[in-house]
Amino acid sequence: MLVAAAVCPPTPLITLQLDDLRTACRAAIAALHDARPDALVVVGGAQAATAYGGRAAGTLRPWGMDVTAGREGPVLPLSLTVGRWLLGDRAPDGFQSVALDAPIEECLQLGEKLGKIAPKVALLVMADGSACLSARAPGKYDEAARPYNRLIADAIAQADPGALAALDPAHADRLWVSGRAALQVLAGAAGTRRYEGRLLMETAPYGVGYFAGLWT
C-alpha cells in the first residue's frame, strides 16, 4: 500500500542552482523516510518502461554536467538520475521508468502494481509541468499552459489522484508536460485511498513548471 509520495522535478538544473526548490524537494524526501516504508521506489518518465535495482546509477554528463549518482555503472534515464541525486546517500529499493507516451490505463496499472510490492510503499515521483509557460520556455508559449499547470499543482496540493488520472495525454503532449505519465503512475498507486497533500513549492523560472509536493 502507498503510504507516502513526493513529487519533484526531473531537471538537472536542480543540481547546480534552484536552491529553494532543491531544499523543498529534500524536505519532501525526508518525509518519505519518516513514513518508514518497506520499499522506496523512484518513478520517472523515459523512452520506455524499465525497472532498475536500487544500486543503479545515472550520469548527467550528456547534459554537460559532471554529476554521477548511484553505486553501479550509469544506466538510469535523466528523470531517475535526478531522483537518485536528490536522495543523496540513501539509495532507494528500486527505480521504475514509465514511457513518456504511455496510455493512461498503462500508467495506472503500473502504479497499482508498484503500490503492492510491499506492505508500506513510498514513491519519489519525478515529474514536471508544462514547458510552454513563457516566451523563453523550451516549448512554444501557449496560453493554455498556465491553467493546465495549475490543474496539476492543485492535484498535488489536494492529494487528488482522480485529477491526475484524468490528465489528457494529447493535451499534455501539446503543452510539453513530460511528467504526465509519472503523475498517473502515482494516481494508480494511490487508488481510492485518501491522503493529505502539501504543495511545498511551485515555480517556473525558465518557463517550465516545477513542483515540490508531498502526500502522506
Q: Model confidence over 3-29: pLDDT tens digits?
A: 999 999 999 999 999 999 999 999 999
What confidence score (pLDDT) does residue 65 get? 87
Identify any residues that bridge with 213 across adjacent strands, giving them in sequence order. 7, 199
What confidence score (pLDDT) does residue 166 get? 97
Residue type, 129: G
Q: Write down all domains in the chain, each with its CATH number in brackets.
A: 2-215 (3.40.830.10)
Start-end of H helices in the chain: 19-34, 78-87, 104-114, 145-157, 161-165, 169-174, 180-190
Identify any residues that bridge with 4 across adjacent strands, giving them in sequence order. 122
CA 21/CA 169 separation, integer angstroms: 26
pLDDT, mean of each 10-residue run, the chain (216 residues): 98 95 98 97 98 96 89 92 96 97 98 98 98 94 95 98 97 97 98 96 95 98
CA dihedral of 147, 151, 157, 158, whole degrees rounded to 10: 140
Do residues 211 and 154 make contact, with C-beta atoms less than 8 angstroms apart? no
φ/ψ of 146, rounded to 5, equals: -65, -45
Do residues 183 and 127 make contact, with C-beta atoms less than 8 angstroms apart? yes
Count Cβ neighbours within 10 Å for each residue of 86-106 and write b for 16 or more, e otherwise. bbeeebbbbbbbbbbebebeb
What confidence score (pLDDT) does residue 63 get? 86
What confidence score (pLDDT) does residue 27 get? 98
